[in-house]
């Protein structure tokens, strides 16, 4: 795939999204089963009850949907472990959920990225950044469809990783964000915060291109510039079970909000 063809594809996709009227809040999702979330009296997370009859909610909205939950952080911060655990937890509650990872190495673009990350090929920094972005665009339509159908999507890395890692290489911060405009914005970003030195002590560190201590320090600085109201900062040095409990509670609340009709929005649309 030529870089210019890839760039042209991304830009055309962005233009279509920019001029479209993405009024997600007015699109009714008709489903035979309408999941209803309820907290137990002590507000701990124990179950999600599935109701056969639609029920009203405090916001009066009818556009019940799944939540888009993103896990971010430095390499070896525990994202893969926690995203898998969170996915299994939601499935155990009977809530429709899927686990996605970016890059998605099963696609043609993803295979090029995988070869690069494993040091089997060399690509210009701008080219690989656009490939990462294209990999996310490949899944955008499916992501929107899944969310509208009521499925919650847990995503291990998203656009924030693309911007953080590429800008850490020295690429312009705003330039790195530009190809992501038009992708769906997460309902919550769970950032697993860990000092780079601590991450480097974990097993398997150094197996891929970006797992270098000095570089990870720069990535952490870039992440800090991306924090917004959707981010929840979690201490990734805590015991695994403690982290699991915190993530479950945060995600449960996010799902409840989306079931009440929270509209989908696009990244950095403000």
**Chain segment 209-262, per-residue pLDDT in tens:** 888 889 999 999 999 999 999 999 999 999 999 999 999 999 999 999 999 999
Q: How far apart are CA 172 and CA 54, in angstroms?
A: 48
Mean predicted lDDT score pLDDT of the chain: 82
Residue ranges and CATH numbers for the domains of the chain are 68-261 (3.40.50.300)
Mean pLDDT of 105-115: 94
- Contact present, 141 and 182 (Cβ < 8 Å): no
Say yes or no to pLDDT of 174 above 80.
yes
> What's the confidence (pLDDT) of residue 35?
41
> Which tens digits make up the pLDDT trace of 52-96?
333 333 334 468 999 999 999 999 899 999 999 999 999 999 999
> What's the confidence (pLDDT) of residue 202?
76
* 206 C-beta neighbours (distance < 10 Å), count: 12
* Local confidence band at 139 (pLDDT 50, 70, 90 cut-offs): very high
The pTM (predicted TM-score) of the whole model is 0.77
Say yes or no to pLDDT of 48 above 60.
no
Say yes or no to pLDDT of 23 above 70.
no
> Which tens digits make up the pLDDT trace of 145-161?
999 999 999 999 999 99
Q: Which two tokens stand for residue 254?
A: 């996010």
Nearest to 266 by CA among 147, 201, 184, 175: 184
Q: Using the Cα atoms of residue 214, residue 216, residue 222 and residue 224 in order, give the sign of their dihedral.
A: negative
Q: From start to end of the chain, where are the E strands?
A: 34-36, 49-51, 68-73, 97-101, 152-156, 188-193, 231-235
Mean pLDDT of 167-185: 97
> What's the confidence (pLDDT) of residue 62?
61
* Percent helix, percent strand, percent coil in the chain, to nearest 5: 45, 15, 40
Nearest to 58 by CA among 251, 261, 265: 261
> What's the confidence (pLDDT) of residue 211?
80
> CA 160: distance to chain centroid?
8
> Which tens digits make up the pLDDT trace of 33-42?
344 444 333 4
């Amino acid at each position: 795939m030529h870089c210019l063809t890839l760039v042209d594809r991304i830009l055309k996709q962005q233009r279509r999204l920019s001029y479209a009227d993405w009024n997600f809040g007015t699109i009714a999702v008709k489903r035979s089963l309408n999941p209803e979330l309820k907290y137990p009296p002590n507000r701990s997370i124990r179950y999600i009850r599935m109701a056969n009859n639609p029920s009203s909610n405090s916001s009066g909205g009818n556009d019940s949907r799944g939540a888009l939950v993103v896990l971010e952080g430095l390499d070896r911060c525990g994202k893969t472990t926690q995203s898998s655990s969170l996915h299994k937890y939601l499935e155990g509650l009977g809530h429709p959920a899927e686990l996605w990872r970016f890059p998605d190495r099963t696609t043609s673009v993803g295979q090029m990225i995988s070869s690069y990350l494993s040091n089997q090929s060399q690509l210009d920094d701008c080219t690989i950044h656009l490939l990462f972005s294209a990999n996310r665009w490949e899944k955008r339509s499916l992501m929107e469809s899944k969310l509208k159908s009521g499925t919650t999507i847990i995503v291990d890395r998203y656009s924030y990783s693309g911007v953080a890692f590429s800008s850490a290489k020295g690429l312009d911060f705003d330039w790195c964000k530009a190809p992501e405009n038009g992708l769906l914005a997460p309902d919550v970003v769970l950032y697993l915060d860990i000092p780079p030195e601590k991450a480097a002590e974990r097993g398997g560190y150094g197996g891929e291109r970006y797992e270098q201590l000095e570089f990870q320090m720069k990535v952490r600085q870039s992440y800090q510039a991306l924090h917004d109201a959707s981010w929840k900062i979690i201490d990734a040095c805590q015991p695994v079970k403690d982290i699991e409990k915190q993530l479950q509670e945060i995600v449960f609340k996010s799902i409840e909000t989306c079931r009440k009709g929270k509209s989908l929005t696009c990244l950095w649309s403000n």
